[in-house]
Amino acid sequence: MTFRTRFAPSPTGPLHLGHAYSALTAHDMARAAGGHFFLRIDDIDQSRARPEWEAQIQEDLRWLGLTWDGPVHRQSEHFGTYRAAIDRLAARGLTYPCSCTRRDIAAAASAPQEGVPQFGPDGRIYPGTCRGRPMAEARPGDAIRLDLSRCDAPALSFCETGPAHAGTHTVTVAGLRETVGDPVLARPYMAASYHLSIVLDDAGQAISHVIRGEDLFEATPLQRFLQHLLGLPTPEYHHHALIRDAAGKRLAKRDDARAIARYRDEGATPQDIRRMVGL
């Protein structure tokens, strides 16, 4: 199997030390394996994505000495693929429209049962208020959710090689109902959710290894389940440790003081950046 991996930044701000570490790790692993490294621009959220940020990200990656194979994959050029996947799930009766606001969801969940988790990797676990509404009644402002109560699957697994969670992990629908709740598949202003879009992209680019930060480990069970539902292959996963500052605090993705462009302007070299992130 050819090793194929990707770096998938969202073009909503500058590239930071944490991103640089992720990109360098994925790039170096691909090159060491004689495989392919791809650049994917996660611009699914068109309300926040900016072409200027993508240009800056590409410039920073090139400055770091990274090269990628083939053309850049932009999510904004694949809305049709996402739409088709949602239509297939809808045709199987697995989706419903949802008009709940964040506030509605918080209010519905305000009387928690003891021992039942309230928050999952996507935030508050959806209490199922709109479940059962027919798709024919969808209104323009509605989100589309996956009805996990109508989903059935054998126990699924994925293989993880990262330092914190190495091993084989099992995913069950019952577990997802409890820890994630019915996930959003699309929103009025977003052709597909993060989870749905990236599993379709990974399959479309025949990604064999997903290499990304440990903060996304918790998102993997749902993504594994979506692969099963859509008949997509499952890559191997490697969630790398997150870069921390001198005090041990995780670097925020939005901390502009850590922007690569800023270090570069101050005279740092690409080797300095590699050293700073411990490579």
What is the DSSP code (8-state) at residue 258? Answer: G
Instruction: Give, as ranges, the residues between 33 and 72 that touch ligand GLU (CB under 6 A).
Output: 42
Question: Does 216 interact with ligand GLU (rule: CB under 6 A)?
Answer: yes
Closest distance to ligand GLU from the beta carbon of 42 (Å): 4
Count the Cβ atoms, other than its own, within 10 Å of residue 231: 8
Q: Candidates 185, 198, 243, 251: give the one binding ligand GLU (CB under 6 A).
A: 198
The CB-nearest residue to ligand GLU is 42
232 alpha-carbon distance from chain centroid: 16
Question: Does 212 interact with ligand GLU (rule: CB under 6 A)?
Answer: yes
Q: Candidates 10, 25, 75, 227: give the one binding ligand GLU (CB under 6 A).
A: 10
Question: Does 8 interact with ligand GLU (rule: CB under 6 A)?
Answer: yes
The residue among 157, 165, 150, 122 whose CA lies nearest residue 228 is 157
Give the amino acid at 96.
Y
Sheet architecture: strand order including 156-160 = 167-171, 156-160, 236-240, 209-213
CA trace torsion 198, 204, 206, 209 (10° rounding): 0
Per-position x/- string for 144-173, each x denoting binding to ligand GLU as judged by CB under 6 A, each - no binding: ------------------------------
Question: Does 130 interact with ligand GLU (rule: CB under 6 A)?
Answer: no
Residues that bind ligand GLU (CB under 6 A): 8-10, 42, 198, 212, 216
